[in-house]
Structure 1
Amino acid sequence: MPWMIYGANGYTGELIAREAAKRGLRPILAGRNAATVEALAAELNLPSRSFGLQDESALFEGLQDVDLVLNCAGPFSQTAEPMMFACIQNKTHYLDITGEISVFELAQSLSSKARKAKIVLCPGVGFDVIPTDCVAARLKETLPDATHLTLGFDSRSGLSSGTAKTTVEAMKLGGRIRADGEIKAVGLGYKTRDINFGNGTKFAVTIPWGDVSTAFHSTGIRNVEVYIPSSAKSVRMMRAANLARPILGLGLVQGILKSQAGKVEGPNEEQRGKMPAYVWGEARNEAGQTVVARVKTANGYSLTITGSLAVASYILMEKNIPGGAYTPSKLMGSDFVERLDGSGKIQISDV
């Protein structure tokens, strides 16, 4: 069945394309930059296509005879919407590796259209948000009446240029949490607490991670926050940056910052092998009962490679998946992260 990696010439897209070829898979490599896409496809002996996402007719033509697209072209706030609508029109399954809340919410809003088209929409099939989503689902299974969910991870994966550009876009939006079922805007550096992610207790701060959207759709838990390790100095800088957010949102400033972000290079294979990630979650019910989950995984980029290919292969092999919008745990099960290379078992405790 023909399938496509769009954005195959980007840092993460290329990693996924190389691993796919290594496994004997035959994805079509695609993107806007014909020269780089064609060069990579020639090296890997894979087919290629070149098209942008702003021309609807070119986009629809580019998806002809394609059963599944794995979108690796970020920022996904710019690429997900046109690609999702084209996939619905063309009856093509849609995956991506985003961590952007707006993209997850868009997919959920299009669930009925995807259902009618009999296709799967499943953004976030990478480190954003496979491990945290699986931890959330496992905590819900352990404490079914949970009302509050807190998630977090300690990952020293570094940034690719695409991730850096997404971070620049996120700065102008501030923080996000879910409170009483609704996504709520909060300041950068909104809350701090000490967390043992699985490698010692660390000072941590809230971030607007994708689970603010996905964990609710996976578990129904109406209060969600996500944390990463930080320093007190970094938190002070984040809070100070709240005053500059109107300036950070200006097109000129965004352009300058994204130009600098485009120069960032992601970690190499040796570096990725030395940087595992630690994922943590805590669920609490109205009675005050608390359960904690932890799992150690491969480096975030390495998990994104294996996770995205696993989901793509599953959808292409399974013929009877009901159409609609999914989260990774809803599609693949709460044990999905445990089945990926470099991951351990999710450990449940009360501390």
Structure 2
Amino acid sequence: MAPLIIYGRMASEHAKSIGLDFALAGRSENKLKDFACRLEVPYYTFDLNEREILDSILDNTLVVLNCAGPYIRTAKTLMEACIRTKTHYLDISAEIATYQQAQQYDSDAQKVGVMLLPGCGGSVAMLGCLAAHVADQIEYPKTVDIALHVAGAMSRGSAISASNMKSGCLQLVDGNLVEQEPTQTANFDFDDGNGNVISFPVTLPDLLTISKSSGIANIRTFAYASSLSFPTGDLDLLADGPTAEEREATPYHAVVVVYSDDGFSKKAVLHTVNGYSFTYLASVEAARRVLENETKPGFQTPVLVFGKDILRAIPKTEIRDF
């Protein structure tokens, strides 16, 4: 039995390239068998509703890396199975409901020594490290405004996940998720030569994870899409994701402004690789570290487990302070 099970193509390819011992998992025998043969790794095909089969596979597994969205269909079942089998759970979800689910299972996971780490890649790792970098420079941080500059096309999984987000536009006020008017835009300079651009409020799971990592109770999350429009039509017909060439041509940027309780503010900008590349690089790095016993029981964030310097593991990534 492999110590690591991965649901996800790009993460699996990267895990193979760095020599991790892992197995593939998924629903489609035809697709999975050919892919596993190419990577020369074992694979498991099953339906998540097959509890006995799922538990028998996870019984001798240390870590599950779930890259199979939309997570409204996969995260809850896999978290429950991981708690039953004492297997650490990782995913790359951008759906806030996944994190609320992990919050609910926090005490159950702690009792059996299991870590629940949704968002080990993607915006949660990216923005969480950036926010921690700035918050650590302020004695009494009170408020965070953070924005992600998204570039390039959306994959099928990302589009379906986005379409399943029914929570409206939210912000964190005094530790509570409350509605935010979608028209309450903000201007951010992403240090990319375009000056201030209008960014729109969005509901990102970072509302919960940045607060959990830092203790800051007032957070707003924004997004600016330079070349992205939400796809229409049958989302199942979209590609698995942008090509390597497309990812290379569309790096991501992020900016954070942290305010102290006396009105002082500090700003920093993150420049990094395309979000799809960042996600598989960061999530596999997280899985590698968990295999080396870098874990904490219960619901966690990348910053709490690995520290903000995990960004150093991602190529072409830098933070600039302003």
TM range (shorter): over 0.9
Amino acid at match of 1:348: D
Which of 260, 264, 268 aligns to 2:238? It is 264
The corresponding residue for 1:335 is 309
- Runs (4+) of structure 1 moved beyond 6 Å? none
Count matched residues.
316
The corresponding residue for 2:112 is 117
Aligned partners of 1:3 and 1:27 also within 8 Å: yes
The corresponding residue for 2:248 is 273
Shift of the alpha carbon at 1:347? 2.3
Shift of the alpha carbon at 1:318? 2.1
Instruction: Out of 332-341 and 84-93, give the one that drifted further.
Output: 332-341
Structure 2 residue 32 is the aligned partner of structure 1 residue 37: yes
TM normalised by structure 2 equals 0.93
**Where in structure 1 are there 5+ consecutive unaligned residues?**
7-12, 239-256
Distance 1:259 1:311 in 2: 35
Distance 1:134 1:99 in 2: 16
Shift of the alpha carbon at 1:25? 2.1
Structure 2 residue 282 is the aligned partner of structure 1 residue 287: no
Aligned partners of 1:164 and 1:262 also within 8 Å: no
Shift of the alpha carbon at 1:51? 1.1
Aligned partners of 1:180 and 1:223 also within 8 Å: yes
Structure 2 residue 133 is the aligned partner of structure 1 residue 138: yes
Secondary structure of the 2:64 match is strand
CA change 1:332–1:258 in 2 (3 A) is farther
Distance 2:296 2:130 in 1: 24
Secondary structure of the 1:129 match is helix
Aligned partners of 1:272 and 1:301 also within 8 Å: yes
Aligned partners of 1:152 and 1:279 also within 8 Å: yes
TM normalised by structure 1 equals 0.85
- 1:63-102 matches, within 5 Å, as 63-102=58-97
Aligned partners of 2:141 and 2:216 also within 8 Å: yes
Aligned partners of 1:146 and 1:283 also within 8 Å: yes
Higher share of residues assigned helix: 1
Distance 1:128 1:60 in 2: 30
Shift of the alpha carbon at 1:258? 9.3
Distance 2:237 2:139 in 1: 46
Amino acid at match of 1:269: A
Secondary structure of the 2:238 match is coil
Amino acid at match of 1:194: N
Give aligned-pair identity as a percent: 29
Distance 1:100 1:209 in 2: 7
Aligned partners of 2:23 and 2:43 also within 8 Å: yes
Shift of the alpha carbon at 1:190? 4.0
Secondary structure of the 1:184 match is strand
Aligned partners of 1:277 and 1:297 also within 8 Å: yes
Shift of the alpha carbon at 1:86? 0.4
Shift of the alpha carbon at 1:289? 0.4
**Where in structure 2 are there 5+ consecutive unaligned residues?**
none
Aligned partners of 2:89 and 2:118 also within 8 Å: yes
Shift of the alpha carbon at 1:26? 2.7
The corresponding residue for 2:5 is 4
